[in-house]
Amino acid sequence: MIRRTTSQSETFDGVAGIIAPGRLIAFSLPSIIALSVYMATSSPVGSTKEPVLKARESEQKSQIAPPTAKQIPVAPHKLPPKGLQFYAALSRPNKLPSQALPVAAPTGKLQKLSAPELPLTTQALVPSASPQISRLGYQVSINGRTLPATWSQWRVGKSVRTGISDAGMSQTLGVELLNTGDVTRQPVQWFSQPAMEPLMLATQAVGSYRYLDITDFAQRAGWQMEVKGTKLLISSKPAQVADIQPALQPRGSRMTIEIDRPTPWQVRKEGEELVVTMDAVATPALLQRFSSAPVPLLQAPKQGKVAEKDRETEGEIPSMVPLPHRSKLPTPVVESIQNQTQIRINIPAGLSPRFSSLPNPNRLVIDFLPEAMVERDILWAKGIRWKQQYVSLGSSRFPVVGLILNPRLQGDVNLPFFKMKPIWSHRSKMVGVAPLSETAQMWHASAAVNGGFFNRKNQLPLGAIRRDGRWLSGPILNRGAIAWNDTGAVKIGRLALQETLITSTGARLPILFLNSGYVKAGISRYTPEWGATYTPLIDDEIIVVVQNNQVTSLLPGGIAGKTAFPIPRNGFLLTLRANRGPASSLPLGTKVWVEGATVPADFNRYPHIVGAGPLLLQNRQIVLNAKGEQFSDAFDKQAAIRSAIGTTADGNLMIVAVHNRVGGTGPTLREMAALMQKMGIIDALNLDGGSSTSLYLGGQLLDRPPSSAARVHNGLGIFFQPTR
């Protein structure tokens, strides 16, 4: 929405929106953990020698009794000799594998796979070369329930292997990804004891996804698999829910669900309820015991909306502080229908769920904690590391979810590990918004983060977007921006674009904005990069059509938002807003040309730019000046969920999403700058925040449930570059 003020300026207000998909989908484990975004805690960041700060040991220790299994770094195994096919070393618990057996996955009709009793330990060896994908699909059916998940099949020798994306493994099966520094294999936990016998799945990074080889996993679990079109069908023997035990803990509560055998499980959030679905049958005694509706627990107040006059262009800002949880046992409601059990649990206010699955006996454990994040450090692909941890700032602890990116060239093939480019919601035009995950998938990006600001009413960009040297949207108000090229060079600083329209009669007319949704009295310019048409943003604009450097038409713009004017492919449009004076210098037939330059000039050397703001750090020093970048005082002082990007001393890029501090709100801009500084960042830029904050990797949002993420206009996409 445009709010009219004076002829000298126009300001924008927007109303934040939260996506509520019509269908219910299972959250990935990172998204399950990120339910804390609603409850005032969210995902942490692990630590390595790279510049993410380690939490103090005393802060890492939890007062809650931990489950038996813990996440541990897994030492890489030796690679097989060149040419060796996939083999799986299968063993029973607490026994070493006696031999390695080749395994093939069924691809046609249902085929029964023999299965010793679980728990399982699979250690898949890695092939010497990346295989060719022979089949690909986007749905996985688990015992008749169809869920969105990307899967693929490939052939290694005579063996057909089946893989599911790591996001799909978490969303459909309940598999938890553990820490690893080996890109060829992913340790996981699934009713297993990783400290004793880590369950290893071979990985294949193909296109925008990373697939985990489940061929031997499925055989050991006794599953039947079948491919029908683009759907992978998995059938498993249902388990039996033997018992459900709620218990209080020193800092929260625990729900232990005991089953007789490992089984797929999913979770979703409905309002303030957690809904766990298991391929299992509950005993009649359990159904009778937990058949009544749960007693509502004390809940945090709803997130308040900031008054429109203070909103400017950022996403929805939470203004709530969760109330302390009540020391009360969570009361589940249990239903069983057709070999499936659904367990509904009220989420206590101020707490978030943490999940773990354990063997002997087989249990799904749900802990409700004020700090529910599992710290992670996963080398997802060459040059892309996924890290999560809590970072302390004064008396506050902030959950930080991040990607550390190595933009430098691979020496052996002279290629970068990945390419980073701006992405936006509609390829052919600059109007429109969409969930970041949908935009990333449309562009086939492996990873992405939300980018710059935009107007939520007319869905137009409010800042710089440049891709491959083309300005899709120009910078505004000398705000912060990040620029980069395809060989690893990065610049972060404040950016302006100065354009001048020069006529054959010697007139020099300043152009205020290029391809922008920002409105101010004066001249703006719209090129074909904006889209096929331009629709006036305020009443009574004058539209000047320029083709082949010559004025060909002067047209009345009429009522804002009503008429779409074609943008010539061989020229551009000028729009004169609240000032008819320049029209006298632009009669029909006038020859014109445009001169332009970035300020600073060195920004123009970079083909890719995304603007946001404000600038947080330069040369390790906090340089925050929100008022200087023409953000409002309210925006400057607000505590909010935030995303940011920065460079490190060793030349890496770090992209982070920071959610609500434990027991409170998100960081202020100054706290965000201090957090980036504490994590070892050299130069840093604040990106759009609030409900816009979204960090995507391989098919899933890492930092929050999809239903809590607003639609955004643009972002930064990371495109994995496999070694040739």
pLDDT of residue 413: 67
CA distance 132 to 457: 45
Label the pairing between strands 239-249 and 280-282.
parallel
Strand order in the sheet with 333-337: 265-270, 273-278, 340-346, 333-337
- Separation between Cα atoms, residue 215 and residue 163, nearest integer Å: 7
Supply the Cα-derived Rg of the chain in whole angstroms: 27
How large is the average pLDDT for residues 294-310? Answer: 38
Can you give the pLDDT at residue 293?
A: 55
Cα–Cα nearest to 164, from 223, 94, 213? 213
Mean pLDDT of all residues belonging to the chain: 81
CA dist., res. 71 & res. 348, Å (int): 25
* Residue 528: its H or E element: none
Find the angle CA(33)-CA(276)-CA(176) to the nearest 5 degrees.
45
How far is 229 from 368, CA to CA, in rounded Å? 40
From the list 619, 665, 715, the residue with the least C-alpha distance to 426 is: 715
What is the pLDDT averaged over residues 538-556? 97
Residue 618 confidence (pLDDT) above 90: yes
Most confident of 11-15, 95-99, 486-490, 619-623: 619-623
pLDDT at 684: 98
Q: Which of 378, 371, 379 is nearest to 399 (CA)?
A: 371
- As a 3-state breakdown, the chain gives helix, strand, coil percent values, each rounded to 5, of 10, 40, 50
Least confident span in 87-96, 155-164, 403-412: 87-96
For the residues 312-337, what does the mean pLDDT come to? 58
CA distance 73 to 179: 5
- State yes or no: pLDDT of 46 exceeds 50: no
DSSP of 635-673, one letter per residue? HHH----EEEEEEETTS-EEEEEE-PPTTS----HHHHH
The length of the chain, given as a count of residues: 724
- Strand, helix or coil for residue 469: coil
- Residue 305 and residue 319: Cα distance in Å, rounded? 7
What is the rounded distance in angstroms from the CA atom of residue 173 to the CA atom of residue 199?
Answer: 15
* Average of per-residue pLDDT across 336-350: 91
Residue 206 pLDDT: 84
* Of 404, 381, 400, 372, residue with least CA distance to 54: 400
pLDDT per residue as tens digits for the range 485-514: 998 899 999 999 999 999 999 999 999 999
Q: Which tokens hold the place of 268?
A: 């979703």
Tokens of 598: 């970035």
Please report the pLDDT score of residue 130 as a whole number: 57
Query: Which residues are within 8 A (CB) of 31 and not within 5 positions of it... i.e. 6 or more apart?
Result: 700, 701, 702, 704, 705, 706
pLDDT per position as a tens digit, 661-686: 998 999 999 999 999 999 999 999 99
pLDDT band at 723 (very low <50, low <70, confident <90, very high): low
- 213-262 residue pLDDT tens: 999 999 999 999 999 999 999 999 999 999 999 999 888 999 999 999 99
Rounded mean pLDDT, 582-609: 97
Specify the pLDDT at position 417.
82
> 416 near 383, Cβ under 8 Å?
yes
**Using CA atoms, how far apart are residues 640 and 691, in angstroms rounded to an integer?**
9
Helices (H) and strands (E) in the chain, counts: 9, 54
pTM of the model: 0.81
Q: What is the pLDDT of residues 262-285, one digit of tens each?
A: 999 999 988 889 999 999 999 999
The answer, yes or no, to whether residue 653 has pLDDT greater than 80, is yes
Q: Mind listing the pLDDT tens digit for each residue in 397-448?
A: 999 999 999 988 776 667 778 899 999 999 999 999 999 999 999 999 999 9
Judging by DSSP bridges, how do beta strands 231-235 and 133-142 pair with one another? parallel
Return the number of other C-beta atoms located less than 10 Å from residue 670's C-beta. 14
Alpha-carbon span 272 to 38, nearest angstrom: 9
> What pLDDT, on the 0 to 100 scale, is given for residue 701?
95
**CB-based contact 679:391 (threshold 8 Å):** yes
Query: What's the confidence (pLDDT) of residue 118?
Result: 35
Tell me how far apart the alpha carbons of residues 209 and 156 are, in angstroms, rounded to a whole number.
19
At residue 640 the predicted structure's pLDDT band, cuts being 50, 70 and 90, is very high
Write b or e for each residue in 288-298: b if 16 or more Cβ atoms lie within 10 A of its Cβ, otherwise e: eebeeeeeebe
**pLDDT > 90 fraction of the chain, expressed in percent and rounded:** 66
Does residue 658 contact residue 644 with C-beta atoms inside 8 Å?
yes
Residue 104 scores a pLDDT above 80: no
Dihedral Cα 706, 708, 711, 716, nearest 10 deg: -60
The pLDDT of residue 411 is 67
Q: What is the DSSP letter of 721?
A: -
Report DSSP state, residue 74: B
Closest CA to 354 of 88, 651, 645, 33: 33
